[in-house]
């Protein structure tokens, strides 16, 4: 298990109700599942996260399976929802 921080941006921050929160998980998949189960989570949270892209310690996750993204101690997960505009 690794402990770290999930940071939410834009619509993800609104859906989560917080700017950031801690995680204690071995993979990105587990960290996001734990975040989805937190009490007080907005009904939009799952929808926004499913559409989001992710950075782990500044590196894009891209299309890799979230279960294959191992998290290191002190890792930072950035949740980036689609941005409007151009």
pTM value?
0.93
Residue 29 and residue 66: Cα distance in Å, rounded?
Answer: 5
Structural domain for 59, as ranges? 2-80
Task: Report CA 84 to chain centroid distance, whole Å.
Answer: 19
Tens digit of pLDDT for each residue in 26-66?
999 999 999 999 988 878 899 999 999 999 999 999 999 99
Whether 55 maps to a domain, the answer reads: yes
Give percent of the chain above pLDDT 70: 97
Number of neighbours of residue 49 by Cβ within 10 angstroms: 20
Tens digit of pLDDT for each residue in 1-17?
999 999 999 999 999 99
Q: How many domains does the chain have?
A: 1
* pLDDT of the residue at 31: 98
The domain spanning residue 66 has which CATH number?
3.10.20.30
């Amino acid at each position: 298990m690794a402990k770290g921080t999930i940071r939410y941006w834009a619509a993800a921050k609104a859906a989560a109700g917080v700017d950031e929160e801690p995680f204690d998980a071995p993979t990105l998949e587990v960290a996001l599942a734990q975040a989805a189960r937190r009490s007080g989570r907005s009904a939009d949270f799952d929808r926004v996260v499913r559409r989001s892209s992710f950075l782990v310690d500044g590196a894009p996750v891209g299309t890799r399976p979230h279960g294959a993204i191992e998290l290191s101690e002190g890792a930072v997960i950035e949740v980036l929802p689609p941005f409007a505009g151009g």
